[in-house]
A and B are shown apart, each in its own frame.
Chain A
Amino acid sequence: QSALTQPASVSGSPGQSITISCTGTSSDVGGHKFVSWYQQHPGNAPTLMIYEVSKRPSGVSNRFSGSKSDNTASLTISGLQAEDEADYYCSSYTSGSTYVFGSGTKVTVL
């Protein structure tokens, strides 16, 4: 199972919006609703930010939103803040009852 494709880095100024893409195949991202997104700050464990493509766990800011079109999922961070600077990973359940992660995207707040 190949990793999902994410841009290596995305940057934006405080207050701006940025979008991170996550491209897979019809066997994973395009095949169902089980796409999730994780935020990881250096030295820390990942934290769930979005599940089932667009749902936010309680406690996650509504500045984070998710969507999907065909084989590509997207995470949008609006009103970018310094604390959003981190690595972001997408993940998808697959038709083979396994999981696959994206390659990861480093978000930099300019």
Chain B
Amino acid sequence: EVQLLESGGGLVQPGGSLRLSCAASGFTFSGYAMNWVRQAPGKGLDWVSSISDSTYYADSVKGRFTVSRDNSKSTLFLQMNSLRAEDTAVYYCAKSPYGGYLGGGFDIWGQGTMVTVSS
């Protein structure tokens, strides 16, 4: 069964840092582009970042967030620095369906991890 399991969320003060992880299983992780999508409480979905051969970021997180992956451990990461109150959200990792290529959307989602930025 294809599964994604996020971890690393929690409460952090404004200006702080947090590193999210997403453990993948049930598919050849190295063969697929991966993504992060977030959802603020009571709000809609918001694309954050994608990683294929290159990395891509939403303007709202560019320069503060860094996406990376460890294919040997089938794990996706999101390093979040200079966190702001508006970064408070559930963060989902999601798999791309088209192998290493972007564009196909998100066919498998994890259950999400909550990040709260507050003093």
Contacts and interface: CB of A to CB of B under 8 A. Distances in A.
Interface of A: 1, 3, 32, 34, 36, 38, 40, 45-48, 51-52, 57, 89, 91, 93, 97-104
A44 B102 CA distance: 24
Contacts of A89: 44-45
Interface of B: 35, 37, 44-47, 50, 56-59, 92, 97, 102-112
A67 B92 CA distance: 27
Contacts of A40: 45
A91 B110 contact: no
B47 A34 contact: no
B109 A46 contact: yes
Contacts of A99: 35, 47, 50, 105
Chain B binding surface, main DSSP class: loop
Contacts of A100: 47
Contact of A45 (B46, B58, B92): B92
A97 B56 contact: yes
A52 B46 contact: no
B47 A101 contact: yes
B107 A51 contact: yes
Given A1-B58, A45-B111, A51-B97, A101 B105 contact: no
A98 B47 CA distance: 8
A104 B107 contact: no
Contacts of B46: 101
A52 B98 CA distance: 11
B107 A48 contact: yes
